[in-house]
Copies of this chain bind each other. A is one copy, B any other.
Amino acid sequence: MSITPIEIQCLDKGFVRLIDVMGDDNSIVQAARVSYGTGTKRLSEDRGLIRYLLRHQHTTPFEMVEFKFHIKLPIFIARQWIRHRTANVNEYSGRYSEMKDEFYVPSLENIRPQSTMNKQGRSDETFPTEQAEAIAEKFAASQDQMYAEYRELLDMGVAREIARINLPVSNYTEWYWKIDLHNLFHFLKLRIDSHAQYEIRVYGEAMASIVKGIVPVAWEAFEDYALHSLQFSRLEAKAIMSMLNELPSDETLAAAGLKGREALEFKDKFNKMKNLK
């Protein structure tokens, strides 16, 4: 497929580049209609069908769209990323080829203190500018030194696979990454989230902006039913119900944008909540 390559710069030296796509919103509809046969006639409108599928977690039609990206990213992000197993990957190999002299240095506003609330994240506060500058300079200086040592080992003839062992995890690597839309949505839900590390969120948002342009209807459904959905535990639902005495009126629902089938489904859910022990 001749895709005009879309490339988005990420962090200081990385990028996300769309290489190829198979399918679009229509492919989701087309696959669903195989499954449901004449059963989809009632959902005659494509947009309605896509939203219905995503709302009810009929996820297989979303697997029928496939994306291939070329990505350049620091190794420590690659290590988080690769935990998503349902994807195809071809990574640059430090055994075959020389690693490049490119390392991630965080911008000053991204050098932050440890969060005291969140064991796994950084605080919203920042360091004084001079301190942040000093840290950034130190990062860069050590990266230069480690790369110089790497080069020296290569020049001595040391095998690439050994020479590279002291390169920092801030070193950039590259890969081709191919994934279907359902699994990409899952990746994005986890990696665009505020709990994800900032540096992977940047890549998530870059891919999101590309995907949105290719499957706009599916993307909107993903935002409404997954990305910006809220999940309440059994106890939380109970707490909310204790404050709500009656079913929202049709006017209230319509004001929030809920009508037709979605309004009916909401009423069902509301009644389900009423009956929670």
Within 8 A of B (CB), among A184-231: 190, 195, 197, 223-225, 228-231
Set of chain B residues within 8 Å of A160, measured between Cβ atoms: 114
Convert A131-168 into 0s and 1s, putting 1 for each residue whose CB lies closer than 8 angstroms to a CB of B: 10001001100110110010001001111111011111
Alpha-carbon distance A74/B53, docked complex (angstroms): 27
**Is B115's CB under 8 angstroms from A90's CB?**
no
Give the chain B neighbours of A258 by CB distance below 8 A.
235-236, 239
| Given A113-B157, A224-B233, A96:B120 Cβ within 8 A | yes
- A166-B153 contact in complex given A82-B82, A252-B243, A257-B235, C-beta closer than 8 Å: no
Complex partner residue of A32 from B90, B122, B167, CB under 8 angstroms? B90
Q: Is the CB of A121 within 8 A of B36?
A: no
- Chain A 237-248 interface 0/1 with B at a Cβ cutoff of 8 Å (1 = within): 111101110001
Render A244-277 as a binary contact track against B, CB cut-off 8 A, 1 for contact: 1000100011011110001000100100110010
| Complex contact A55–B233 (CB within 8 A) | yes
Which residues does chain B contribute within 8 Å of A30, judged by CB atoms? 176
Question: Does B159 lie within 8 Å of A266, measured CB to CB?
Answer: no
| A121 and B95 in contact, given A224-B233, A238-B256 (Cβ under 8 angstroms) | yes
The 9 A-B residue pairs with the shortest CB-CB distance, nearest first, are: A37-B97, A39-B96, A122-B159, A239-B256, A63-B88, A22-B22, A228-B234, A238-B256, A165-B170
B76 touches A88 (CB 8 A): no
CB-defined contacts of A145 to chain B, threshold 8 Å: 142
Residue contact A76 to B34, C-beta cutoff 8 Å: no
Min Cβ gap A168→B in Å is 4
Report how far A4 CA is from B118 CA in the complex, Å. 37
CB pair A168–B170 under 8 Å, yes or no, is no
Distance (whole angstroms) from the CB of A87 to the closest CB of chain B: 9
A155 to B191, CA, bound (A): 28
Decide: A146 near B146, CB < 8 A? Known: A75-B169, A178-B66.
yes
Residues on the B chain within 8 Å of A244, using CB: 240, 243-244
Question: Is A106 touching B159 in the complex (CB atoms < 8 A)?
Answer: no
Residue of B whose beta carbon sits closest to that of A152: B138
Tell me whether A223 and B234 are in contact in the complex, defined as CB-CB below 8 angstroms, given that A32-B90, A37-B92, A160-B114 are known contacts.
yes
A252 shortest CB reach to chain B, Å = 6
Asked if A25 CB lies within 8 Å of chain B CBs, one says no
9 example contacts (A-B, Cβ-Cβ < 8 A) are as follows A23-B68, A35-B93, A36-B119, A76-B165, A95-B119, A114-B158, A235-B256, A235-B262, A240-B248
